[in-house]
Amino acid sequence: MGNYNKFPEIRIEEQDNSAWQGYAHIQSEISQITNGNQNPKTVLMVDCYPGVRYQEILEGLILPLKPDLIIHSDDLAFSGEKITEMIQRNLTDDRVFGVMSSHQLCEFFDRLLVEHARESIGEVESGLIVVYGVGARLICIPDVLVYADLARWEIQQRYRSQELGNWKMENFDEDFLRKYKRSYFVEWRIADRHKKQFFSEIDYLLDTNETNDPKMLKGQAYLNGLQQVVKQPFRVVPYFDPGVWGGQWMKEVCDLDPDQDNFAWSFDGVPEENSLYLRYDDVRVEVPSINLVFRHPVELLGDKVHARFGTEFPIRFDFLDTVDGQNLSLQVHPLTEYIQETFGMHYTQDESYYILDAKEEATVYLGLKENINKEAMLEDLKKANHGLGSFDDEKYVSQYPAKKHDHFLIPAGTIHCSGKNCMILEISATPYIFTFKLWDWDRLGLDGLPRPVHLKHGEKVIQWDRDTKWVKENLINRIEIINEEDGWIQEKTGLHEREFIETRRHWFSKKIHHHTNGSVHVLNLIEGEEAIIESPTGQFNPFIVHYAETFFIPEDVKEYTIRPYGKAKGKTIAVIQAFVRV
């Protein structure tokens, strides 16, 4: 068992009385604020991210305040059926893929109903008015604004348990992938655009991730916390998920539930999906980590990276565990023009497999064999996916042995997958759902349904010239020593020249010095028990990381050092470091 930290917290230096836990304490604070208002009437607003538990907030916070008028903003929006009609072009008929929405939240509200609500508010001469729900801020300007936020991983868990349907829908028992698709391509996009507009207006942030255990934070304390995070190294809150091909490695190293059959994925470096734990004295508040990107894109990403990617975080680190498991699906990722023209995404999912660990007979499938017949391969894939025999992967796809610390580069358009017995640190661009499965080894998913295969998309982007010769020359262990001195070796490991991410591997037994050089850095401790990151200028407190942990260095840090720490003192350890080529 390792010393991997599953619950990384960021302690925020903030004055006392800025955070509360539990509805009783939260209600007391809100009552003091609303009762202290000098105006005859007070409008309390609780704007919500889609997926927040309304009934819990209503019973725990709103009703005990005994308001004179309650308006639920969702009642002012169009019906789910009408919204579905409006976004059908974005949803498509596909089970997994849609088209990225450019809608604004206000488009889904009935203007007449909104105006009637405003008139109702105007007719109240004194007392407390509460407006709550998705898009509440569209209704009026409040006296007190609370924003109830929620991590995307928690939303997904609520989808899976069938507790939650999509916004304005009662599709609780619908296929999880279709609910996720509606959120990914539409709901999360419009909700994020909405909340970005009033970050600085929030009087309180309400953390609604835990059932009946809310935490509330003063808006300014929240902004101060994000400002502090972007000045120092930090980790996001990892989560782990089983899969049909999942393995056993993470159970031991990351101290996971041994009774689970397997764990396939770990998302330990995906700000769009992960969250941050912010510690304010005795209260730990969980917030979506993408909010940090929204609030401080230049400081986090760097000016040139922000100019290229806006408020999107372009680098993703995650784990794929097939140790004592199975092969991933045979797959390919779309070319840039295909993802832009078909799905409305800005850039594609270039990636790489860094082999963090491996057992004997570990393999990676990468590229095609020499002189294959394209039409014959596609026909064999079609037959296999219709149950007419298994696909002969050995006839068409190249397979390579994989050992610890190998690095396989996978530019979009390259057929690939991990074989069994690999522990992969996947380093990639962030559009992470755009995997076109070509064949899935005749398996069903954990839900008992056939896993989605997208051969019609895949056949349009496969780069048929990426055969064995090309792969060996361009994609396997393209490792070059660029600096070597006593106690430190720096190597360039990729990615491929078609990919915008650069990776460097550092082996060191002493303190080494780094500069961000215009881009955010994402790192993982790939060898050694512990390391400590320090500021040469004293800008941030020393930051300790453990084996296999991913961590972020905001560009605004500018310079930092890393050295072996704890039980790793006197030993040679290693990190892999990724940044955007600028």
pLDDT tens digits for 352-406? 999 999 999 999 999 999 999 999 999 999 999 888 889 999 999 999 999 999 9
Phi then psi for residue 350, to 5 deg, are: -70, 150
pLDDT computed for residue 275 by the predictor: 97
355 vs 348: CA distance, rounded Å: 22
Alpha helices (runs of H) in 318-415, residue ranges in sequence order: 336-343, 374-385, 393-396
Handedness of CA 4, 8, 13, 17 (dihedral sign): negative
* Whether pLDDT at 448 is above 80: no
* Whether pLDDT at 1 is above 70: no
490 in Cβ contact with 506 (< 8 Å): yes
- List pLDDT tens digits, range 66-109: 999 999 999 999 999 999 999 999 999 999 999 999 999 999 99
Residue 472, helix vs strand vs coil: helix
486 vs 512: CA distance, rounded Å: 11
pTM of the model: 0.96
**Mean pLDDT across the chain:** 95
CA 304 to chain centre: 22
- List pLDDT tens digits, range 37-56: 778 899 999 999 999 999 99
66 vs 59: CA distance, rounded Å: 11
529 vs 125: CA distance, rounded Å: 65
pLDDT computed for residue 234 by the predictor: 98
Residue 375 corresponds to which amino acid? E
Say which residue the tokens 């929030």 belong to.
Answer: 202
Instruction: Report which secondary-structure segment, H or E, holds 508.
Output: strand 501-508
